[in-house]
Amino acid sequence: MTMTLIRRKATMVKFGITLALCLSAVVQAQASRAAETTLTSAPTPGALTNTSYRLWPDAAPGGGDATAASTPTLTVYRPFIARPNGAAVVIAPGGAYIGLASRLEGAEPAAWFTARGVTAFVLTYRVGPKAMLPIPLTDGARAMRFVRAHAGDFRVDPNRIGMMGFSAGGHLAATTAVDATPGEPQAEDPVERASSRPDFLVLVYPWLEGAQLRADGGSSYCDFIQRLKAPCTPSQFSKFAPLAHVSAKTPPTFLFHTTNDELVPVGGSTRFYQALVDHGVPAELHAFADGRHGSGLGGGSPILQTWPELLDLWLWARGVIDQTPAN
């Protein structure tokens, strides 16, 4: 009996070794095939496709050509099926007027809005030394007119189109709002017949005083332009100060900032807020204690992630978000 048990154990050990070797060979073969696998592109699913529109059919005014770098566009993000409520928002990402944070401050807030039934349009405006102020502001005003002129095509309410701006995009959005015009009824271009005034305004750590002259004669705006080795005379751009143009016609405004923003002082937002209040414009300001500039919708901070919830409530109170789908 003892010898039989020993033989059986030996057989089991040999079987186990053989099985392990077989499994090892299979794993190695799979790893080898995986290493040889190449990525193959596939068409983007229709549900994820976004369409971009040129703001002008030909070269945009203000210089430049019809190349991609000189072509301002709007990329539309639509709400889920049966969820659109007729409201829309144009989103201007930041980037110090030398670049665009189009994902953090464009695609991400666009997704946030579409989840609430709002059709979002991310603005790619012209930046850099070849598109100095006021060229980006021209793109901002045109974007508002474009969406309103094509409201029927996008199935949005022309009287419920707002604008949101982050950092430099906040300067662009605020300027678009305070300098808005009703449009030219006799304009040959139908887009120019529409108003450029947003119906509501959302400013996120806005760079409202970026072009303002400092005591040393410089400005933050020129500091960034000069990083690209381009000339910039601060006094030529100091007039682009939206605070000076706040009036009773400025749309209702929501502002978010952080008190210790290391790049854009919170004072610009508080002064803009006070000007809105002084002119009787409905306004709401949330200045959180801590948070770095460029946090988008809150990033990884459990505290900053709560500010969009406040915006959500404000939009509900303003009637921008409702539960009535568009026809």
> Each residue of 45-102: pLDDT tens digit?
656 668 999 999 988 998 766 666 789 999 999 997 667 789 999 999 999 999 999 9
Task: Calculate what percentage of the chain has a pLDDT beyond 90.
Answer: 76
Average pLDDT over residues 253-273: 97
Structural domains of the chain, with CATH: 50-318 (3.40.50.1820)
Average pLDDT over residues 217-228: 97
Instruction: Write out the H or E segment, with its range, that includes residue 286.
Output: strand 283-288
User: pTM of the full predicted structure?
Assistant: 0.85
pLDDT at 91: 98
Contact 210, 232 (CB under 8 A): no
Chain-wide mean pLDDT for the chain?
87
Q: Which of 7-11, 80-84, 215-219 has the lowest average pLDDT?
A: 7-11
Cα three-residue angle 205-210-212, rounded to 5 degrees? 135
pLDDT at 299: 83
Contacts of 98 by beta carbon, 8 Å cutoff, 6+ apart: 127, 128, 224, 225, 227, 228
pLDDT at 5: 39
Report d(CA 308, CA 305) in Å as an integer.
7
Cα 321 vs. chain centroid, distance in angstroms? 19
Report d(CA 175, CA 198) in Å as an integer.
11
Which amino acid does the sequence have at 138?
T
Phi and psi at residue 243, to the nearest 5°: -55, -40
Question: Tens digits of per-residue pLDDT, 270-321?
Answer: 999 999 999 999 999 999 999 999 999 998 899 999 999 999 999 999 999 8
Radius of gyration of the chain (CA): 27
Minimal CA–CA distance to 145: which of 127, 166, 121, 167?
121
